[in-house]
Copies of this chain bind each other. A is one copy, B any other.
Amino acid sequence: MRAVIVEAGAVVVRERPDPVPGTGELLVRVQAAGLNGADLLQRAGLYPAPPGSPADIPGLEFAGVVAAVGPGVERFVVGDRVMAVVGGGAQAELAIVHERTALAVPDTLASVEAGGFPEAFTVAHDTLFTQCALRPGERVLVNGAAGGVGIAGAQLALVAGAAVVASVRAAHLRKALEAFGATAVDPADAAAHGPYDVILEPIGAPNLKTDLDSLAIGGRLAIIGIGAGARGEIDLLQLMSRRACIHGSTLRARPLEEKAVAARLVERQVLPLVAAQRVRVPVEEVFGLKDVDAAYTRFAVGGKLGKIVLDIPG
């Protein structure tokens, strides 16, 4: 198979042996694989793949068709359309995933959309509902709202009956966020629209003070990314008097069973919304496998609405 390989700080396409599915695993002919911030970190040598994932093939999510199944597989058969979050190795013509973490692709979702769905929607769902226990009527601030997780989070919070303020620096992207039903604002104006019961923070330390200042009593701040910095000062008295909570999490480092639980929740609680077209998966741009370097460059530039996806025809 051909695969994207991280080599000396760059991404290139190389031939690799076809992987073989083990017990409970699917071999998937990948049709599309979304890019994520972690890919850029891995390219820079900063975010090694967890044990059990290919060490030098990046990619945290894909969609494709089951090409073979390992012993004991119960949930899928050859030919099924599937999509999944994986610890790595998604950006290749073939990939392995445990069937307990794979999701059936709804008919309403094209392959490039499905390739950009799993990571963003799983992180957004896990953060808003499993960690932050979002309730209808609450106020949510989604920072970096035009990114994959941002768009997913804004839509899921809206469907769940929350009021959503979506902050994004690029003014030209705000109209699209308003179309989802969010109030789209410049990051500098986000605090003025608070206080917030839940804040989704994918950017990191530079937003920490404003986030904490904007939390309501009983508010929950969820840190899901630190691309702009990891270290920041907090005021514990403020945290106490707000009776607030700061959550941190990543999906990638979790053990198989926790990823499977998160995937099952997405299957039950998000896929029906996708099938009913109540949430969408915006894709900003699609690149072929041979243009992977250009895809990474486009991803890094920012100012995009939704996902950058590699199209990998089998």
Interface residues, chain A, with chain B CB atoms under 8 Å away:
131, 204-205, 208, 223-224, 226, 230-250, 253-254
A247 to B248, CA, bound (A): 12
A253 to B234, CA, bound (A): 20
A243 to B250, CA, bound (A): 7
Taking the nearest CB of chain B, how far is it from the CB of A230, in angstroms?
A: 4
Q: How many copies does the complex hold?
A: 2
Contact indicator B243/A249 (Cβ below 8 Å): yes
Contact indicator A248/B254 (Cβ below 8 Å): no
Q: Which residues of B contact A230 (CB under 8 A)?
A: 235-238
A237 to B205, CA, bound (A): 10
Going nearest first, the 9 A-B pairs with the smallest beta carbon separation are: A239-B248, A240-B248, A230-B237, A246-B246, A243-B249, A230-B236, A223-B236, A226-B236, A240-B250
Contact indicator A248/B243 (Cβ below 8 Å): yes
Q: Which residues of B contact A131 (CB under 8 A)?
A: 245
Taking the nearest CB of chain B, how far is it from the CB of A242, in angstroms?
A: 7
Taking the nearest CB of chain B, how far is it from the CB of A225, in angstroms?
A: 8
Contact indicator A241/B233 (Cβ below 8 Å): no
Contact indicator B231/A235 (Cβ below 8 Å): yes
Q: Which residues of B contact A249 (CB under 8 A)?
A: 240, 243
A248 to B244, CA, bound (A): 5
Q: Which residues of B contact A233 (CB under 8 A)?
A: 231-234
Taking the nearest CB of chain B, how far is it from the CB of A49, in angstroms?
A: 14
Known: A240-B224, A243-B249, A253-B241. A231 touches B231 (CB 8 A): no
Q: Which residues of B contact A241 (CB under 8 A)?
A: 248, 250, 253
From B231, B236, B237, B243, give the contact of A208 (CB < 8 A).
B236
Residue of B with least CB distance to A201: B236
Q: Which residues of B contact A205 (CB under 8 A)?
A: 236
A245 to B223, CA, bound (A): 10
From B234, B242, B243, B244, give the contact of A234 (CB < 8 A).
B234
Contact indicator A240/B254 (Cβ below 8 Å): no
Taking the nearest CB of chain B, how far is it from the CB of A259, in angstroms?
A: 12
Q: Which residues of B contact A224 (CB under 8 A)?
A: 240
From B232, B240, B248, B250, give the contact of A223 (CB < 8 A).
B240
Q: Which residues of B contact A245 (CB under 8 A)?
A: 131, 245-248
Known: A232-B233, A233-B231. A223 touches B246 (CB 8 A): no
Residue of B with least CB distance to A212: B248
